[in-house]
Amino acid sequence: MLQWGADGMIRERALRWRRGLVVALPGLWVLGVVCWELLSPLGAQFVQLLAAAPAIACAGTGRRQCVVLGGACALFALVPLGSAGRAEAGRLGTCCAILAVVGAGYLTSGRGRRLAQELEHVREVAAAAQRALLRPLPPLLDGLALAGGHLSASRGALVGGDLYEALATPHGVRVVMGDVRGHGLPALGTVAALLGSFREAAHDEPELPGVLRRLERALQRHLRERARTDAGPGAASAGAVRERADAEEFVTVLLLEVSEEGEVTALNCGHPWPHRLTGTPHGTPRAVTVAPGDPLPPLGAFPLPAELPLLALDRLRPGDALVLHTDGAEDARDAAGAFFPLTGVLTEAARRTPPAPAAVVEHVQDALLRHTGGRLGDDIALLALRNDRTRVPARPAPAPLARCARR
């Protein structure tokens, strides 16, 4: 955290220095032209170069400084100076050229500002839509501390092809982590379809396999509708549309269900298994991969089998945490091609007792950005949950009331 703060201070100082240079650059240009005009021994005229000062001011600082500096340069060009004093017509032409540059720069700067405002508005709308799609997790859900984070490989996108959600249901806390084929904005439609289906099925389906089958049907329905839309009104038969929808489209999905006693059951369709963090004072803090069995094929690649056996993870004791992630975290590479050491980074995070979910997510994200230099090849989603439930000791049975003997 201290290193991150130092880097932020360095960037802030560099930004202030650049801003100061941009503000001072038009004045330095005018000063250089004047000195060159006065000290030139060849009798050449350099006053015409003053016309560039308003353009520099418009490009770097804005319309107000462009007008003020342009007017000052236009008046200054009319003053006889050095060898320019013998050419009154040249001074008048330079003044007109400066005024023309001021007018053009004023109009161009205004149009650029309007475009920048429209772009900022579009970004705000897109950010709000993406946050509504992948909404923030509550910090505490039915006794489980939660935190989630997402890093998009597409510039300007907050959400890509990864998805996660956690819901408190009558059947326990149900969690989904998924990774849509591809990344960035084109995968948002599939993410929306799966999240919408999970948010309904998690409450409606009494068993976890029923939730997974609902996700499969939602994915197939979405892919058919998208293929039909892409094919247009002149599409071929329904079989061709279905074949196009099923071609190379799949989603890896991990479903978890945490009971009130901390028992964790899972269904895995081609997704990386989570890591378990233990940070008890009596043991060595560590992070281990929880892999109770072989996962099923990714959702959409093949039909789900008739029987979906639930896999039981180790019981989540109070203070223990699980970290779910997409394969982008394990596959991230640095400039030399080395993979990101996810298990080692999570072990560092587990040294905090108990490991706070928000701190774990922030620690891993910072390490990922440092490892890759900010150049991500795939979207990365993280979800950490910690069992904050405490077992309430059973109350002793009330002592029988003593009966008063009748006299």
pTM for the structure as a whole:
0.68
Q: Residue 5 pLDDT more than 50?
A: no
Name which of 115, 133, 185 is nearest 155 in CA terms.
Answer: 185
End-to-end CA distance of the chain: 78
φ/ψ of residue 325, rounded to 5:
-155, 165
Band (pLDDT 50/70/90 cuts) for residue 2 is: very low
pLDDT for res 397 = 47
Q: 58-67, 109-118, 194-203: which range is least confident on average?
A: 58-67
Is the four-CA dihedral 273, 276, 277, 282 of positive or negative sign? negative
Structure-token pair, residue 157: 């996108």
Domains and CATH numbers, the chain: 14-126 (no CATH), 136-387 (3.60.40.10)
Q: Out of 106-120, 126-140, 246-260, 362-376, which region has the weakest mean confidence (pLDDT)?
A: 106-120
Nearest in space to 299 (alpha carbons), one of 231, 198, 150 = 198
Span 222-269, pLDDT tens digits: 988 888 877 666 555 555 445 544 556 789 999 999 999 999 999 999
Per-residue pLDDT reduced to its tens digit, 201-234? 999 999 999 999 999 999 999 988 888 877 666 5
Mean pLDDT of 320-330: 93
Identify the three-state secondary structure at position 253.
strand
Task: Spell out the SS3 assignment of 21-38.
Answer: HHHHHHHHHHHHHHHHHH
